[in-house]
Structure 1
Amino acid sequence: MSKTTVLTGITTTGTPHLGNYVGAIRPAIEASRDPNVDACYFLADFHALIKCQDPERVQQSRREIAATWLALGLDTDNATFYRQSDIPEIPELTWLLTCVCAKGLMNRAHAYKAAVAENETDDKKDPDAGITMGLYSYPVLMAADILMFNANKVPVGRDQIQHIEMARDIAARFNHLFKSEFFNLPEAVVDDKVAILSGLDGRKMSKSYNNTIPLFTPEKKLLKLVRKIKTNSLEPGEPKDPETCTLFQIYSAFASGDDVSQMRQRYAEGIGWGEAKNMLFEHLNEQLKGPREEYERLINDPAHVEQVMQAGAEKARERSVPFLKQLRDAVGLAPFV
């Protein structure tokens, strides 16, 4: 039975936080251990350059994300774990796809349209002011990421479904023009059961809101951040609604079913917010202590992490090099002899 190829990219512009872990990292690592899944996970560092021109931030984020995934138990024997920038066939494929991609398709991309709309709202004379070609055409790079490894399924949030549809359109166009089924038509996978954690202020946990709890923040800092989580003014002894509480939501994402049931009962009995925060901290700290120690070991041993990433790149290029040769031949770029 052939494996299902599942591909996920991780943008390298920030420090991994609890929301990243629950929403993307944990399910991806579980999939990496499934012998029936051909899992491809990559650091999307070319994509990072679209929004971030701070080289130190990009480099630090790449190191932190690589160390995080390894510390949490990514199975690099079964999965292929690589940096996008280590696979030169990806930007070359991007150009091949750009040459068959309709400009009108890019005009309809949500990110581009949102940037134009913001310029028009600000009464700028040029609706394209400040918009780079990286932002405009990054759906083509995303298509190349997916199509290079002929991914069958791409787990995404709902805001990314359009890009998978664009990848399908571009792949179908290429197949039609060059008269062969070079590319699978990938499917977007949206798991509505994946938890979306709230941050310190009650909004979605996001680095853009500056409300995150870094996954491997030191113990004392973790306690301080948990104590900053916004709660209401209900006093100890007053029943509290767990369904509207960020503390309970985060606790539930890391606790067993029995522990969650017991905490729900404590809310009904009127647990004080101070006690609830202490319980959340203790549970998080216990869950993350081992991985945090491994992360610190890895972040302080960049040579080892680099070795792992280079091995992942070699594994990825065993697929990308011959496939790109096939595509070059198809479009008329074959050697003369």
Structure 2
Amino acid sequence: MTSKQRVLTGITTTGTPHLGNYVGAIKPAIAASRDEDIDSFYFLADYHALVKCEDPERVQRSTLEIAATWLALGLDTERSVFYRQSDVPEIPELTWLLTCSTAKGLMNRAHAYKAAVDANTASGEDPDYGITMGLFCYPVLMAADILMFNAQRVPVGKDQIQHLEMARDIAQRFNHRYGEHFVLPEAETDEHVATLPGTDGRKMSKSYDNTIPLWLPEKKLRKAIMKIKTNSQEPGEPKDPDEASVYAVYAAFASAEQRASMRQAFADGIAWGEVKQQLFELINAELEGPRERYEALINNPERVEKELAVGAEKARALSGPFIAELREAVGIRRLA
């Protein structure tokens, strides 16, 4: 019998989940949590949130919203480990052990740091103006998140592949110096993961202010969907589904049969208002039950906290003995 693959996913706690997050990351990850051949680790990356968010209330609120979202959508916490990063003190301790083995030159090459330096230089500022050590050392904390649990696979977007490569470099350097302690993680990117367009046709993103929040009440959800940008083609005119944002969103939620039927409706000249109405009905039907569970969880933070406490206990059952092994390896030992 083959041993289980360990897969780890982190969610930064800086905002409210939207439909793009749901389709692109949450839904496939929750499906993976039910796979008996996978050991799934999901964590709320609240230390990472501090790199780009200085609003304490927002970090706390986002932690609650994201945790409640995953639980409401059916994450199997019996078969997976679901924890808050800051509840596992071995992670920042490992971050320091790794920092002491990580070349500064490696960090200099990180895309986010280079982009910040380039922006400063272009605006005539000092190259390091406004850049914190949190931003600079972010890849080491990410490496610690992964290596703490020796995850073999880490699903990431293309923009995070470099950080996975850095985690491998950091692990190799530590292994070379102190013995084989870490497996080398593999980045897992899915070419078929849906990237939803937002209400303006661009990629759905908080930075574009074009998102449709996941947990809008029914009436507000319909209103948001009705705002999705379309062209000026009249009812009766054949329309191209591959050029329409509203169809791309529909396709992400629909079955193969529903997609085929909608493509035919486009060819037959369906009115934009009717497309949007059908899209609303489709999304609302999928989220209706989870929305009730989400509201119940948001209004009962103690229940969410309890789930996270159980997850932290499971995580620390692994991280505690492992950090003891790593301390021994680097020479932080009892004298007698």
The answer, yes or no, to whether TM exceeds 0.5 is: yes
Match for 1:122: what amino acid?
S
Matched, 1:157 2:178: no
Structure-2-length-normalised TM-score? 0.99
Query: CA shift at 1:2, angstroms?
Result: 1.2
The RMSD of aligned alpha carbons is 0.6
Query: CA shift at 1:287, angstroms?
Result: 0.9
Match for 1:121: what amino acid?
A
Match for 1:184: what amino acid?
V
Distance 2:258 2:251 in 1: 8
Count matched residues.
Answer: 335
Distance 2:231 2:121 in 1: 39
Query: CA shift at 1:35, angstroms?
Result: 1.0
| Residue in 1 that maps onto 2:289 | 290
| Residue in 2 that maps onto 1:207 | 206
| Residue in 2 that maps onto 1:7 | 8
Counterpart secondary structure, 2:144: helix
Which structure 2 residue ranges, 5 or more long, are not aligned? none
Matched, 1:111 2:112: yes
Query: CA shift at 1:181, angstroms?
Result: 1.1
Match for 2:97: what amino acid?
L
Query: CA shift at 1:291, angstroms?
Result: 0.5
Match for 1:187: what amino acid?
E
Matched, 1:268 2:267: yes
Counterpart secondary structure, 2:204: coil
| Residue in 1 that maps onto 2:175 | 175
Distance 2:135 2:275 in 1: 43
Query: CA shift at 1:175, angstroms?
Result: 0.3
Distance 1:295 1:245 in 2: 31
Distance 1:336 1:316 in 2: 29
Query: CA shift at 1:123, angstroms?
Result: 1.1
| Residue in 2 that maps onto 1:50 | 51
Distance 2:60 2:17 in 1: 14
Match for 1:7: what amino acid?
L
Deviation >4 Å, runs of 4+: none
Map 1:1-337 → 2, pairs under 5 A = 1-124=2-125, 126-178=126-178, 180-337=179-336
Distance 2:15 2:71 in 1: 17
Q: Once the two structures are superposed, what CA deviation does each residue of 1:20-45 show, in whole Å capped at 9, x if it has no partner?
A: 01111011101100111000000000
Match for 1:181: what amino acid?
E
Query: CA shift at 1:244, angstroms?
Result: 1.4
Which structure 1 residue ranges, 5 or more long, are not aligned? none
Q: Once the two structures are superposed, what CA deviation does each residue of 1:143-187 show, in whole Å capped at 9, x if it has no partner?
A: 000000000000001110000000000000000001x21000000
Q: Once the two structures are superposed, what CA deviation does each residue of 1:260-285 show, in whole Å capped at 9, x if it has no partner?
A: 11001000011111111111111111
Structure-1-length-normalised TM-score? 0.99
Distance 2:39 2:158 in 1: 23
Match for 2:151: what amino acid?
A
Distance 2:332 2:244 in 1: 59
The percentage of counterpart residues that share the same residue type is: 68
Match for 2:312: what amino acid?
A
Distance 2:247 2:196 in 1: 10
Counterpart secondary structure, 1:188: strand
Q: Once the two structures are superposed, what CA deviation does each residue of 1:312-332 show, in whole Å capped at 9, x if it has no partner?
A: 000000000000000000000
Distance 1:62 1:246 in 2: 30
